[in-house]
Structure 1
C-alpha cells in the first residue's frame, strides 16, 4: 500500500530541515599553531568565523589565552580536554611549525583522540610536522577562508 502524499511531504520537510540544522551547526575547532610566529593566522581564522561577510562557521575552543599557568601537566590536561571537546583540529603550518614541541604534542593528542585534522600549509615549501604525514589529515595549501571552510565542512 503506498504511503499517503501528506506523510511523504512532512517526512521530506523534516529531513530537509534536519539537514539544514546539522549543516548550520558551528563546528568546535581546536587550532594548533606556533604562538609566536603564526598567531595572526589563528586570529584571522577566528575573525572570519565572527564576520557575517564570510561563511566560515566555527567556534574556537583553543586554549591559548584561557589558561594562565606554567605547570606543564596542568596545561597538557586542559589542552587534552579542549581537543577532546572539539569536532576537529586545525593545524596551521607556518615556516617554523614543524619544530614546535607543543604543536607536535597537540597533533599527537588529536590522533590519539581520533579527531579529524585539517592541516593548513601557508606555503608548500614549509616543512610539515612529522606526525601529520600519513595520519589522514585533510590538506589545505595556501591561506584561504574558502579552502579552510570547505575542508572543515567535508569532515
Structure 2
C-alpha cells in the first residue's frame, strides 16, 4: 500500500523534539507519511536564538510561511507546552489562516496536563497518543480526548472544518 502523504506543521516545545519524531514514526507504521514544515532548531542555532541574534519578527515571518504551506497544524502537548509563548502564537496564527488544528498529547502522559490557551479556543481535535485517533483527526474527524484516549468534553471554541 502506498503511503498517504500529509503536509503538516508540528507546533511543539523544542524539548519535545523526540515526540515529533515518535509521532512521525507511529504514523508511518500505519501508512501515513508526515511532511513536517516546522522549525527544528539545531544546537548551534539555539545559541543564536538565545542571544536574540534573530529577531522575533523574522521568526514570525518564517513560521507563517511554513504554516501556509501545511494543510493541517498538529500541536504536540507535553507537560510544559502551555508555558511556551511561540506555541500559543502559532495556534492563533494557524486559526487566522483557517487551518485545522489537532492537539496530540505526548506519549506516556497519564494525567491531564494544561493545554495552551489558544489550543483550548481553536482546536479542531485534541487526541491521545494513538495512531487511529490521530489518523481520524488528520482525515477531518473532530474528537476530544484525555491523554489516556478516553472521551473529554469539547474545549472552548473549536475551529470549524468545512
Larger radius of gyration: 1
Shift of 1:134: 3.1
Alignment correspondent of 1:150: 136
Alignment correspondent of 1:128: 115
* Selected match of 1:43 from 7, 10, 21: 21
Please say if 1:137 is aligned against 2:124.
Answer: yes
Name structure 1 gaps, 5 residues minimum.
1-23
Supply the RMSD in Å over aligned alpha carbons: 2.2
Alignment correspondent of 2:160: none
Please say if 1:26 is aligned against 2:5.
Answer: yes
1:96-123 per-position Cα deviation (integer Å, ceiling 9, x unaligned) = 1111111111111101111100011234
Superposition misfits of 4+ residues, deviation over 2 angstroms: 46-49, 53-58, 121-124
Cα distance in 2 between the residues matched to 1:43 and 1:57: 12
More helix by share: 1
Alignment of 1:71-150 (within 5 A): 71=54, 72-122=56-106, 123=109, 125-141=112-128, 143-150=129-136
Q: Report the number of matched residues.
A: 128
Shift of 1:26: 1.7
Cα distance in 2 between the residues matched to 1:93 and 1:132: 10
TM-score (norm 2): 0.69
Alignment correspondent of 2:152: none
Cα distance in 1 between the residues matched to 2:121 and 2:68: 21
TM-score (norm 1): 0.72
Secondary structure of residue in 2 paired with 1:64: coil
Please say if 1:55 is aligned against 2:31.
Answer: yes
Shift of 1:76: 1.1
